[in-house]
Amino acid sequence: MTSVDTMAGRIAQIQQRIADACARAGRAPDSVVLLPVSKTFDVDAIREAMALGLTRFGENKTQEIRQKSAALAGQGLQWVLIGHLQTNKARDAARDATEVQSLDRADLAEALHRRLVNEGRTLDVLIQVKTSSEPSKFGMAPDDVPAFLRLIAADFPTLHVKGLMTLAVNSPDPEAVRACFRTLRELRDRLQGEHIAGVSLDRLSMGMSGDFELAIEEGSTEVRIGTAIFGARTYPDPQ
Ligand SMILES: *Cc1c(COP(=O)(O)O)cnc(C)c1O
C-alpha cells in the first residue's frame, strides 16, 4: 500500500473509487465533484494539495477559513463552509466563505443576507437537511425545506440556493446509511417538481470518506472527503 501513502496517491485512489462508483451507478464520471475537507489541517497541508491542483477546500469553522485564506491570499482559492454556523458568525461567513453548505434555519438565512448586503456580495448556499434521527446531527427537517426555500426566494435575494447537503447516520449498516442519502435525493426530486423561482436544486452534497460510494450510487453530485485525503485528524471536530 506504500504507493498510495502520499497525498497524490490518496487523491488518485479516491478519484478512481469515484469513477468506479459512477460506473456501477451508470453515471458519468464527471458528474461527481470532489470537495477536499481540510478542516483542522494547517496551511502546509493545503499547499501540498494546491500543488496537486486542488483549489477549493471544505472547512468547518469561520475562524479557520479566516486564518487560512489570509495565509494563502491571492491564490484563487475557494473556501466552502460545511460545519454548523452560529448566527453570531454570519458576518465572518458572509465576508470570507465562497459558499455555505450548512444553511439550516431561517434566522441564519436572515443574518447572512443582512451581512451580505453590507458586504455587497452574494453567496451560493446548500440547505443542510437532517436525514437521520441522530440527535448530534444538525440540519433542517425535510418537511420544513419547501417553505424555507420559498422564504429565501422571496426575502433573501443574496442567497443563491444551489442544492441540498446532508450527513448520513453513523452506522455499520450500509442500508441505514444509504437510506439517508436516498431521503435527500427523493426530497430534492419532489422539490424540483415545485419549480420555486430562483432556486436551483441541481447539487446534492453527500458522502464522506467512509460512505461516499453509497452516496454516489444514490445520486450525490459532490463528495466531501477529509480523512481519506489528509489523514486522521489529531483533534476532534464536532459536526
Ligand atoms: C469533517 C466533515 C467531512 C469529512 O469527513 P471525513 O470522514 O474526514 O471524510 C465531511 N462533511 C462534513 C460536514 C464534515 O464536518
62 near 81, Cβ under 8 Å? Answer: yes
Q: Which residue ranges have their beta carbon within 6 Å of ligand 1? A: 37, 39, 60, 82-83, 167, 208-210, 224-228, 239
Q: String of b and e for 133-152 (b: at least 16 CB within 10 Å)? A: eeeebbbbebeebeebbeeb
DSSP-based three-state secondary structure for 92: helix
CA of 71 to the centre of ligand 1 (A): 23
Atom of ligand 1 nearest to the CA of 167: 13
Atom of ligand 1 nearest to the CA of 209: 9
Q: Give the model's pLDDT for residue 73.
A: 95
Atom of ligand 1 nearest to the CA of 225: 9
CA of 89 to the centre of ligand 1 (A): 20
Which residue's alpha carbon is at the smallest distance from atom 11 of ligand 1? 224
Q: Which domains does the chain have, with CATH numbers?
A: 7-230 (3.20.20.10)
222 near 33, Cβ under 8 Å? Answer: yes
CA of 225 to the centre of ligand 1 (A): 6
Cβ-count burial of 220 within 10 angstroms (0-12 exposed, 13-18 middle, 19+ buried)? buried
Q: What is the DSSP string of 215-230?
A: HHHTT-SEEEESHHHH
Q: Give the model's pLDDT for residue 39.
A: 97
**Residue 234 banded pLDDT, cuts 50, 70, 90:** confident
Q: Give the model's pLDDT for residue 135.
A: 82
Query: Would you give the distance in Å from CA 60 to the centre of its chain?
Result: 10
Tell me the per-residue pLDDT of 217-227, one tens digit each, with 9 for 90 and over: 999 999 999 99
User: Cα 10–13–17 angle (5° rounding)?
Assistant: 140
Helices (H), the chain: 7-25, 43-51, 62-71, 90-96, 106-119, 145-155, 174-192, 212-217, 227-230
Atom of ligand 1 nearest to the CA of 101: 13
Using CA atoms, how far apart are residues 17 and 23, in angstroms rounded to an integer? 10
Q: What is the DSSP string of 27-76?
A: --GGGSEEEEB-TT--HHHHHHHHHTT--EEEES-HHHHHHHHHHTTTS-
Which of 79, 217, 199 minimizes the C-alpha distance to 150? 199
CA of 73 to the centre of ligand 1 (A): 24
Using CA atoms, how far apart are residues 127 and 112, in angstroms rounded to an integer? 13
pTM of the prediction? 0.95
CA of 193 to the centre of ligand 1 (A): 30
Tell me the per-residue pLDDT of 64-119, one tens digit each, with 9 for 90 and over: 999 999 999 999 999 999 999 999 999 999 999 999 999 999 999 999 999 999 99
